[in-house]
């Protein structure tokens, strides 16, 4: 015969197990497979959102460059860099910036040497400020200009996602941005470059909406530098010189390599410190101006890696 105390203890244990099972089922009744497919779908949705934004920025930059190129050529305003700030082009860029107050940080025209000739900044997503005179800057040393100026095919290129730099230093308060740059080529010579700085702080807010509880949006550049890190304090490690912070390439080296080799539709996963990280590659498009056929374009492009850190299943 079992003692009354043993029976009571067994009853309590059984009741606790039943209660835990009931609670767990109430908390999330989905099966392992259902959870996996939900997570796959969520990461794919975030990747699609970022892809749409990048494609929109590249298309807008290409459109402005095409119009500007045609106008400069028809009116021979490209023969002298000082003539690039033509009133018609100024109004074109102003109109674009005014209708994209919540999307862009800056709309610019650089000359062939990388000097700003026209520049509009958006202020608090409510108004425009035209930058003129000595406040215009030389951007010839910046990567986005060098890439555009060396493009043999006149391609619209996409920069890394990074903190905006003014006069050689990271702007305060921080301004996350991604740049779309299109060279303007007339008679086989680059005469100017359209540069659109998109407001990535706003984009991050959009991407981080409708996230499940206890999950975090993760985003990294092609080189593994963080935009939105698993530990939020590690974000922007490259821009802020956080040399002690491991980027995605060191944080999850196998995942990073798998992402580099993956196709755009594939989702890569890894478990780190009891959490599940699902990530996917987003490939920025390389668009082209008139005079370049699709076959001439190198389809290699800038990649971003976006994902979600979930609690372990």
Domains in the chain, number: 2
- Do 154 and 296 share a domain, yes or no? no
pLDDT reported for residue 219 = 97
> Is the model more confident about 73 or about 20?
73
Return the percentage of the chain with pLDDT > 70, whole number.
Answer: 83
Distance CA 165, CA 167 (A): 7
Give the number of other Cβ atoms within 10 Å of residue 171's Cβ: 13
CATH of the domain at 253: 3.30.450.20
The range of the structural domain enclosing residue 242 comes to: 211-311
Angle between helices 32-74 and 87-98 (to 10 degrees): 160
Is the per-residue pLDDT at 13 higher than 60? Answer: no
- The answer on 137 and 105 residing in a single domain is yes
Quote the pLDDT of residue 288: 52
Last residue of a domain, one of 201, 233, 263: 201
- The verdict on residue 21 lying in a domain is no
- Same domain? 197 vs 56: yes
Q: Judge if 104 and 217 occupy the same domain.
A: no
Averaged confidence pLDDT in the chain: 85
State the Cα–Cα distance between residues 82 and 115, nearest whole angstrom.
11
Last residue of a domain, one of 179, 201, 223: 201
The answer as to whether 5 is a domain residue is no
Taking only the tens place, the pLDDT of each residue in 251-285 is 999 999 999 999 878 999 999 999 999 999 998 86
Q: For the segment 99-150, what is each residue's pLDDT rounded down to a tens digit?
A: 999 999 999 999 999 999 999 999 988 999 999 999 999 999 998 999 888 8
pTM: 0.84
Look at residue 31 and tell me if it is in a domain.
Answer: no
CA distances from 62 to 77, 95, 147 (A): 19, 16, 15
Q: Residue 156 — very low, low, confident or very high, per pLDDT cuts 50/70/90?
A: confident
Task: Answer with the residue of higher pLDDT: 31 or 101.
Answer: 101
Among residues 168, 201, 234, which one ends one of the domains?
201
CB-side exposure of 220: number of CA atoms within 13 Å?
Answer: 32
């Amino acid at each position: 015969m079992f003692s009354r105390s043993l029976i009571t203890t067994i009853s309590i244990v059984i009741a606790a197990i039943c209660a835990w099972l009931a609670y767990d089922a109430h908390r999330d009744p989905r099966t392992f497979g259902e959870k996996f497919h939900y997570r796959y779908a969520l990461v794919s949705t975030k990747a699609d959102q970022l892809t749409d934004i990048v494609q929109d920025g590249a298309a807008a930059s290409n459109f402005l460059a095409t119009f500007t190129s045609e106008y400069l050529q028809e009116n021979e305003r490209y023969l002298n860099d000082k003539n690039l700030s033509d009133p018609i082009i100024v109004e074109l860029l102003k109109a674009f910036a005014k209708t994209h107050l919540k999307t862009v940080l800056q709309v610019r025209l650089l000359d062939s040497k990388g000097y700003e000739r026209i520049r509009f900044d958006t202020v608090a997503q409510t108004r425009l400020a035209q930058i003129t005179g000595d406040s215009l800057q030389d951007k010839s040393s910046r990567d986005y200009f060098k890439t555009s100026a060396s493009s043999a095919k006149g391609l619209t290129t996409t920069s890394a996602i990074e903190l905006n730099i003014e006069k050689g230093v990271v702007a305060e308060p921080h301004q996350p941005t991604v740049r779309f740059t299109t060279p303007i080529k007339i008679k086989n010579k680059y005469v100017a470059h359209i540069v659109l700085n998109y407001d990535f702080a706003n984009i991050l807010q959009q991407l981080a909406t409708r996230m499940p509880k206890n999950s975090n949006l993760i985003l990294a550049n092609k080189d593994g530098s963080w935009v939105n890190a698993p530990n939020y304090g590690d974000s922007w490690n490259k821009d802020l010189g956080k040399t002690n912070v491991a980027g995605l390439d060191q944080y999850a080296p196998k995942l990073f390599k798998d992402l580099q080799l993956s196709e755009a539709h594939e989702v890569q996963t890894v478990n780190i410190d009891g959490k599940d990280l699902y990530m996917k590659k987003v490939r920025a498009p390389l668009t082209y101006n008139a005079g370049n056929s699709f076959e001439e374009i190198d389809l290699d492009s800038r990649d971003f890696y976006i994902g979600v850190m979930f609690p372990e299943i």
